């Protein structure tokens, strides 16, 4: 463990990226506060977080929900950094797109307002998605973080339930976050991951890992997706979050991808120009994911 680096908040702590991020932040010497959704029946097992090395001394778990943005205030108060990873996901299409999008925007802006009011938060790192970049109908060879998905285009070509609603909500929420930060002088950077794959800390089988391993798992309906999507190792995504949290000159958005099949090509020049270096290639991405799935009984 490194020396104490202060206290940061990670939203959505039970998720794939967030739980890995908590583990790495503890290793880097941070005290971590994380938020989890309310569990009225007290049935959720959070031992995968509380048993992490250093968690007993440096991890606090708070209850908060994006449907109630004010619920994040206690977790954020006194932190020097906030890593906003939590996002509503409704791939089953149980709620209308406009409801999901508004909840995502309201939750994000509520968290950013709490960061401003805290007077202690120096930087916010927001986890976006490549979904907010590439779905725009543009016929170009290379895209980077300067591109935006077109919400109207998405609504025309994809049913507004499940994945379609997710695309709209992530695009709309990132735009709202960047606008709010600019208007209010909040230091915010965004990380834009492609399909995140690799081993996982959380007990739940991450949807992105399941998609990437479609051929291994025999999920024929996802074969096309797994063969045409850029991928990135979860540890590289997490390292990028921590790097941008600590790198004072970082501004705006940075796209993360390193290996895989993609159309169009995705450029990570902005992130690489800061000095960040990827550690993992395609072999390690798949080897880590497959080994973890075996250990957790999914393979």
The CATH number covering residue 51 comes to 3.40.50.720
Q: Check residue 49 and give its pLDDT.
A: 97
158 domain residue, yes or no: yes
In a domain, 215, yes or no: no
Tell me if 262 is assigned to some domain.
no
69 part of a folded domain? yes
* Total Cβ atoms within 10 A of residue 80: 17
Beta strands in the chain, from DSSP E residues, in sequence order: 7-10, 31-36, 59-63, 81-84, 123-127, 142-143, 188-193, 195-197, 230-233, 252-256, 259-260, 265-266
Residues of the chain with pLDDT under 50: 259-262
CA dist 101 to 124, 167, 264, Å? 21, 9, 26
Tell me, yes or no, whether 144 lies in a domain. yes
Please state whether beta strands 188-193 and 123-127 pair in parallel, antiparallel, or not at all (unpaired).
parallel
126 belongs to a structural domain: yes
Residue 56 lies in a domain: yes
Print the domain residue range for 57.
7-194+232-257
pLDDT of residue 261: 41
The total domain count for the chain is 1
Please give the pLDDT value at position 47: 96
* pLDDT in the model for residue 260: 44
**Cis amide leading into 261 (omega within 30):** no
Confidence at residue 257, expressed as pLDDT on a 0 to 100 scale: 60
Measured at the CA of 111, the angle between CA 153 and CA 21, to 5 degrees, comes to: 85
Residue 262's closest CA among 118, 142, 167? 142
Residue 279 lies in a domain: no
């Amino acid at each position: 463990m490194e020396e104490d680096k202060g206290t940061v908040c990670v939203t959505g702590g039970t998720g794939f990226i967030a739980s890995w991020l908590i583990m790495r932040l503890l290793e880097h010497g941070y005290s971590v506060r994380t938020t989890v959704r309310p569990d009225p029946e007290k049935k959720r097992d959070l031992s995968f977080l509380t048993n992490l090395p250093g968690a007993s001394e440096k991890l606090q778990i708070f209850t908060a929900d994006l449907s109630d943005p004010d619920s994040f205030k206690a977790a954020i108060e006194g932190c020097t950094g906030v890593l906003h990873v939590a996002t509503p996901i409704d791939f089953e299409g149980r709620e209308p797109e406009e409801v999901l999008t508004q909840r995502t925007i309201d939750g994000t802006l509520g968290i950013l307002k709490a960061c401003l009011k805290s007077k202690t938060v120096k930087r916010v790192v927001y986890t976006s998605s490549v979904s907010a970049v590439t779905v725009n109908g543009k016929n170009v060879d290379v895209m980077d973080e300067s591109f935006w998905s077109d919400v109207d285009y998405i609504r025309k070509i994809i049913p507004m339930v499940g994945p379609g609603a997710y695309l709209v909500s992530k695009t709309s929420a990132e735009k709202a976050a960047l606008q709010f930060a600019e208007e209010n002088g909040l230091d915010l950077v965004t990380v834009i991951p492609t399909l995140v794959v690799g081993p996982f800390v959380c007990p739940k089988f991450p949807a992105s890992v399941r998609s990437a391993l479609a051929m291994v798992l025999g999920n024929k309906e996802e074969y096309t997706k797994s063969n045409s999507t850029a991928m990135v190792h979860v540890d590289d995504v997490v390292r990028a979050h921590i790097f941008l949290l600590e790198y004072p000159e970082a501004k705006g958005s940075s796209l993360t991808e390193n290996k895989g099949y993609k159309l169009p090509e995705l450029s990570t020049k902005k992130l690489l120009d800061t000095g960040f270096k990827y550690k993992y290639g395609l072999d390690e991405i798949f080897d880590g994911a497959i080994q973890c799935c075996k250990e957790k009984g999914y393979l």
